[in-house]
């Protein structure tokens, strides 16, 4: 009788984990030079298949745009490699000769890697490379709806790594993933760290597993068009960013906040860039498609084009429509346009003042993007710096595409497909995760300061309490000293007790 899918998946996970653990023990002996060669070969192999993997991802998931997924694969492979290739991750990685402190890199061990359906190949490549760079083993649980393309990407990385000399099994995966197997993987005794990218329930499960975990939260990203912005450039960037891979990057703009002084101009530019503004009836139809249940996003719209989403809602839009926009004033779980949509749909909010704009941005972030990212278009650097100081986000992209700017494509931020949200979003880090987050740093410190430790004073304070057996002993000593002395003199007894107590104080 065949095993059910959960049992097959769990057994496959255990086998992959055992192989990864054995391989990681061998990998510990590798030099920095050998590790770097392995990472390079794996990155180059993945980049060579970037387009093919992008095509597989779109075909399997039905989400996104092939050309854009290829760009994400290039970021996850070559851009990530370039950013980590010179980092020391083996042996002594830093030495301060003046302070006489030596820092030594030590891998975590075996990592559990969770891959989302929105970035199924780029995230797989990225996590495999940073694990290889740090001498960690890694076992992946792909999303069930993207398992073929994710496994294809991992096989490319593993085969290239093994060909370059890495131990076989250093990268592993579950080819028949189930929630039961994923949960057991995260809780398994041989897992030392979790890299979780996915829905909030999965990330919450990672944090509750009892293991150290890097989990990233949702990104309900506001974009503020401030009155001094170059409106033409700002709108073009926003549309390009929102349509990039049909909005599947978590750092993509989700809600437009525009100063009332420049709103008319902004609306005109959005229309020039293919935006379709919904009337009240159309907005009502689309709301039901965005969120059939309050606070819950309809997965059928994720990564789809504006035209296709319009069809799902029964709305006829021009074939060259890039994004769908509706006027909005409210923010809440029961307001479909205000939640994270992961698709080319925007609410547009009018800010009556600069302070009002800041309040709107914070409310949007509070709905599901706290700690993630915020996009700002302004020519006033004072405004940018005020936002940086006041907004509860880990990344603030100024005058660029938020979606790919956050992952390092149009900014100098560290290239990464896993973006920390800091304590604002319940994460342990606010960084763009990379290789340095996957090593422990041991520190050897030499003595540099001479210290004379003072001896205890001979006049120590009297003890605050005396154990009952000590009291009995004192009484016995007193009685022995006065044995046969006839009537006891209280002054004599008091003196004798004090003498005995002094002996205990000295001991």
Smallest Cα–Cα separation from 217: which of 90, 97, 328, 367? 367
Question: Residues for the chain: how many in total?
Answer: 507
Contacts of 29 (CB under 8 A, 6+ apart): none
What six digits make up the tokens of 393? 């986000």
Phi, then psi, of 451 in degrees rounded to 5: -135, 130
Measured between its terminal Cα atoms, the distance across the chain in Å is: 76
Phi, then psi, of 215 in degrees rounded to 5: -120, 145
What's the rounded Cα separation, in Å, for the pair 141 and 76? Answer: 18
Tell me the chain's radius of gyration from C-alpha atoms. Answer: 32
Residue 169 contacts residue 27 (beta carbons within 8 Å): no
Q: Among residues 149, 250, 361, 421, which one is catalytic?
A: 250
Whether 157 is catalytic: no
Sheet holding 91-96, edge to edge: 91-96, 101-107, 439-445
What's the rounded Cα separation, in Å, for the pair 351 and 489? Answer: 93
Place of tokens 């035209």: 307
Task: Write out the H or E segment, with its range, that includes residue 196.
Answer: strand 193-196
Angle, in degrees to the nearest 10, between helices 66-74 and 122-133: 10
Angle, in degrees to the nearest 10, between helices 179-187 and 5-27: 30
What's the rounded Cα separation, in Å, for the pair 276 and 262? Answer: 19
What's the rounded Cα separation, in Å, for the pair 493 and 61? Answer: 94
Contacts of 256 (CB under 8 A, 6+ apart): 222, 223, 225, 238, 266, 325, 346, 347, 348, 349
Write the burial class of residue 459 (CB in 10 Å: 0-12 exposed, 13-18 middle, 19+ buried). Answer: exposed
Contacts of 15 (CB under 8 A, 6+ apart): none
Active site residues: 250
């Amino acid at each position: 009788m065949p095993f059910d899918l959960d049992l097959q998946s769990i057994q496959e996970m255990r086998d992959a984990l055992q192989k990864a653990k054995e391989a990681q023990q061998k990998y510990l002996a590798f030099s920095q030079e050998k590790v770097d060669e392995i990472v390079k070969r794996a990155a180059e192999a993945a980049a060579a298949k970037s387009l093919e993997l992008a095509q597989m991802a779109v075909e399997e998931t039905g989400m996104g745009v092939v050309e854009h997924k290829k760009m994400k694969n290039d970021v996850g492979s070559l851009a990530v490699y370039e950013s980590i290739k010179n980092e020391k991750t083996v042996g002594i990685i830093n030495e301060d000769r003046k302070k006489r402190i030596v820092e030594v890199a030590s891998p975590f061990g075996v990592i559990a890697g969770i891959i989302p359906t929105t970035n199924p190949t780029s995230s797989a490549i990225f996590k495999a490379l940073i694990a290889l760079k740090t001498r960690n083993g890694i076992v992946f649980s792909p999303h069930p709806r993207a398992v073929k393309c994710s496994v294809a990407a991992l096989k490319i990385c593993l085969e290239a790594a093994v060909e370059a000399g890495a131990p076989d099994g250093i990268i592993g995966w579950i080819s028949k993933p189930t929630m039961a197997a994923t949960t057991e993987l995260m809780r398994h005794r041989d897992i030392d760290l979790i890299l979780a990218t996915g829905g909030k329930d999965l990330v919450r499960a990672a944090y509750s597993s009892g293991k150290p975990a890097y989990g990233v939260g949702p990104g309900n990203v506001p974009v503020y068009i401030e009155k001094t912005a170059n409106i033409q450039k700002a709108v073009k960037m926003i549309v390009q960013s929102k349509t990039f891979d049909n909005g599947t990057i978590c750092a993509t703009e989700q809600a437009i906040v525009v100063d009332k002084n420049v709103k008319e101009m902004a609306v005109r530019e959005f229309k020039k860039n293919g935006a379709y503004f919904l009337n009240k009836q159309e907005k009502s139809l689309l709301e039901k498609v965005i969120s059939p249940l309050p606070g819950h996003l309809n997965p059928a719209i994720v990564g789809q084009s504006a035209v296709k989403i319009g069809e799902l809602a029964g709305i006829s839009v021009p074939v060259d429509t890039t994004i769908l926009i509706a006027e909005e004033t409210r923010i809440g779980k029961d307001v479909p346009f205000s939640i994270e949509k992961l698709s080319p749909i925007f609410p547009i909010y009018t800010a009556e003042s600069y302070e009002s704009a800041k309040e709107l941005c914070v409310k949007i972030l509070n709905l599901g993007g706290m700690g993630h990212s915020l996009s700002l278009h302004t020519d006033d650097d004072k405004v940018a710096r005020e936002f940086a100081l006041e907004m509860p986000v880990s990344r603030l992209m100024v005058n660029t595409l938020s979606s790919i700017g956050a992952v390092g494509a149009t900014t100098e931020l560290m290239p990464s497909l896993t973006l920390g949200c800091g304590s604002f979003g319940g994460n342990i880090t606010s960084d763009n995760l990379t290789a340095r987050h996957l090593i422990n740093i041991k520190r050897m410190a030499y003595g540099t300061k001479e210290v004379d430790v003072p001896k205890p004073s001979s006049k120590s304070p009297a003890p605050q309490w005396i154990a009952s057996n000590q009291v009995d002993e004192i009484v016995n000593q007193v009685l022995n000293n006065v044995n046969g002395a006839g009537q006891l003199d209280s002054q004599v007894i008091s003196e004798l007790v004090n003498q005995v107590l002094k002996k205990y104080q000295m001991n």
